[in-house]
Homo-oligomer: A and B are copies of this chain.
Amino acid sequence: MTENGYHHERVLTVDTMNPRVKEVQYAVRGPIVLRAVQIEKELKEGVKKPFTEVIKANIGDCHAMGQRPVTFLRQVLALCTYPELLEDNKFPEDAKSRARRILQSCSGGSIGAYSASQGIEVVRQDVARYIERRDGGIPCNPDNIYLSSGASDAIVTMLKLLVSGEGPTRTGVMITIPQYPLYSATLAELGAVQINCYLNEEKCWSLDVNELHRALEAARKHCTPRALCIINPGNPTGQVQSRECIEDVIRFAAEENLFLMADEVYQDNVYAEGSKFHSFKKVLFEMGPEYSEKVELASFHSTSKCFMGECGFRAGYVEVINLDPEVKAQLTKLVSVRLCPPVPGQALLDVVVNPPQPDEPSHATFMEERTTILTRLANKAKMTQEILNQVPGIQCNPVQGAMYTFPRLNLSQRAIQEAKEKGQEPDMFYCMKLLEETGICLVPGSGFGQREGTYHFRMTILPPPEKLKIVLAKVKEFHQRFTERYS
């Protein structure tokens, strides 16, 4: 009792808080990144370290790693933000015409107004035309496009719709392992069952339909599997799935009555010879009406990756196919509670899907910037794989696409033992030591899931070529030192 006569206890504690939130894990920004931020502060304060800077190769953040924004995108955005610039002759006409069109589609002519909750109609129309071009003319209805705050937002929303039941009727969602931890985090928060299906590391992280069957059968004993999530090109594994694999997945989803979620945010990031991006939608429609009129598919895209790398704007979309009309109405209602996705991001997305055409003044510069960025990424993908594979005890699949490598680490029993004594996963132990000794910040494979007894890390290919070379050399050196120390 206090002097005021009441006894006050803390309301919100780890014991009383939402237990599902406690289950959430998100390795990409987990303890290793918190430590990296600390080390950066220590360096600033003059603490002596065996390195002079922290290099963050933990997150797919192109601009943070020095990639410059694409001029045309930012010109249109500046014009939308401060329309007085429409009178400025420094801005090209094609940028101005796009800005005018976007502003005309905003309430009150301002990107400061709310948009429709589903997103600005004009932007959804442009997205639909972009998808049609991408998929060789397969029709796309703008009504099936929902703009979002990054792809993450749309993925969470779709999972939210899918989750129901208790005990054996509880929704199970199949995800391929290693996975991007947004999926595991969201399923934990929603109280759904995560069903792990392992990618085949030996065959370049391909997906075998037998493994899907195995995982599904096992899961049916304790939950109700209702969806299957595929990331292609792959995060964290950097593979690009073959057309055959995608067909297999679609056939599997059709036969087993599963809702398909295709995370295709890296669709422009394909580097390897012989690899090609096949959208789930295109393959679905090319498989004929038997599939295209039945399989429920949600496909996600974003402005954060590809050549744009505009993560900070938080823009993305989902296209829903064969969604039940009543569920679609529920989806529209649900997104309306959060009012609308960020409008500057919607404007940015519009420019991404509606880039300068050959007869427009900005075309040459735009294409040059785009090509340079994608070519550099392709070169870095190759370099990464080559250098890492020179290290005894590291095996690395080709980085066919996306922005990551997920190499396998041979760790000695002594290293594994010491990690366990510290209560750490062996690859977390490894990455922490790497960070402390070299300043390089990677994410341990355990944050994404991996086959028991295997160890990995995820590293982005985003640092500039010269820096990436140094990073790879340091990793090589460290790995040799680490191997000797724990041999």
Chain A residues packing against B (C-beta within 8 Å)? 2-4, 6, 8-14, 16-19, 21-22, 24-26, 28-30, 37, 59, 61-69, 74-75, 77-78, 81-82, 85, 88, 90, 106-108, 110-117, 149-150, 152-153, 156, 160-164, 181-182, 185-186, 189, 226-227, 254-255, 257-259, 290, 294-296, 308-314, 322-324, 326-327, 330, 333-334, 336-345
Contact = CB atoms under 8 A, between A and B. Distances in A.
Among A61, A81, A181, A322, find the residue whose CB has the most chain B CB atoms closer than 10 A: A81
A194 to B, nearest CB: 14
Contact of A8 (B37, B150, B254): B254
A82 B112 CA distance: 18
A69 B112 contact: yes
A343 B313 contact: yes
Given A63-B108, A81-B81, A324-B13, A344 B313 contact: yes
A26 B112 contact: no
Contacts of A112: 62-63, 69, 308-313
A108 B3 CA distance: 53
Among A13, A152, A295, find the residue whose CB has the most chain B CB atoms closer than 10 A: A13
Contacts of A259: 11-12
A323 B13 CA distance: 8
B69 A337 contact: no
A106 B327 contact: no
Contact of A2 (B25, B67, B68, B290): B290
Nearest to A308: B112
A153 B9 contact: no
Given A108-B64, A313-B344, A333-B26, A227 B11 contact: yes
A334 to B, nearest CB: 6
Contacts of A333: 24-26, 30
B74 A17 contact: no
9 contacts: A6-B255, A12-B162, A24-B334, A63-B113, A64-B114, A67-B108, A77-B81, A77-B82, A189-B334
Closest 6 pairs (CB-CB, A-B)? A312-B343, A64-B107, A78-B82, A63-B110, A29-B336, A63-B113
Majority secondary structure, A binding face: loop
B342 A314 contact: yes
B327 A12 contact: yes
Given A113-B61, A309-B112, A326-B14, A337 B185 contact: yes
B17 A149 contact: no
A4 B294 CA distance: 13
Nearest to A59: B114
A162 B17 contact: yes
Contact of A186 (B59, B185, B337): B337
Given A17-B327, A259-B12, A326-B14, A152 B63 contact: no
Contact of A14 (B63, B78, B327, B341): B327
A296 B10 contact: yes
Contact of A149 (B21, B67, B90, B314): B314
Nearest to A287: B4
Nearest to A164: B18
Contacts of A90: 88
Contact of A160 (B21, B69, B322): B21
B14 A324 contact: yes
A86 B323 CA distance: 47
Contacts of A108: 61, 63-67
Given A10-B296, A323-B12, A312 B59 contact: no
Contacts of A342: 149, 312-314, 342, 344-345
A18 B161 contact: yes
A107 B2 contact: no
A472 to B, nearest CB: 20
Contact of A78 (B65, B85, B227, B343): B85
Nearest to A191: B191
A312 B344 contact: yes
A117 to B, nearest CB: 6
Contacts of A296: 10-12
Contact of A13 (B37, B68, B185, B327): B327
Contacts of A340: 311-312, 314
A150 B113 CA distance: 13
Contacts of A152: 337-339
A69 B110 contact: yes
